[in-house]
Structure 1
């Protein structure tokens, strides 16, 4: 099978790749540096959220409505969380576990 030629009679080689940069983040970390900081093990996350609502009463109450409109998250960053409730005597519990895995 013939090898690809680059016009000089030599086999073609892949061009050297430059690390991608992202404005505001500086230079990328080398693969060897990332390997030194890698936990490289099993990650187990447990979250136990317990709560109770007992013995509550609600009499002669009016509940409202709520809505998320088209621009509600405009300009939001990170991981926004939304909890909505229009009821009474309600226990709302929320939790987030985020695992970030970086691979060279």
Structure 2
């Protein structure tokens, strides 16, 4: 993992100096058509997230000609 960072170096970065909470999502759905289509159902079963770690994300859609955009911002604070 490399060398540890000194306490003096960490002290300069405390307080969120490198925090970026900025997301720009932009999308367009146009000039589409859907005729004679069947859509299904969205199901999340009881064990869908069994053993999941981290930040599981679920995005579901039963429509047609849909633009789905997703963004996640995670802020982590380490306190002694």
Normalising TM by the smaller chain, what interval?
0.7 to 0.9
- For each residue in 1:36-78, what CA deviation from the matched residue of structure 2 results, as whole angstroms up to 9, or x when unmatched? 4252245341001000101110001000011111111000011
Structure 1 residue 96 displacement after superposition: 0.6
Of structures 1 and 2, the one scoring higher in RCO (CA 8 A, sep 6+) is 2
> Matched residue pairs, number?
73
1:65-80 equivalence runs, <5 A:
65-80=41-56
Instruction: State whether structure 2 residue 35 is matched by structure 1 residue 37.
Output: no
Look at both structures and tell me which one has the larger radius of gyration over its CA atoms: 1
User: Gapped runs of 5+ residues in structure 1?
Assistant: 1-31
Q: CA RMSD in A?
A: 2.0
C-alpha distance in 1 between matches for 2:27 and 2:10: 38
TM-score (norm 2): 0.79
Instruction: State whether structure 2 residue 63 is matched by structure 1 residue 87.
Output: yes
TM-score (norm 1): 0.62
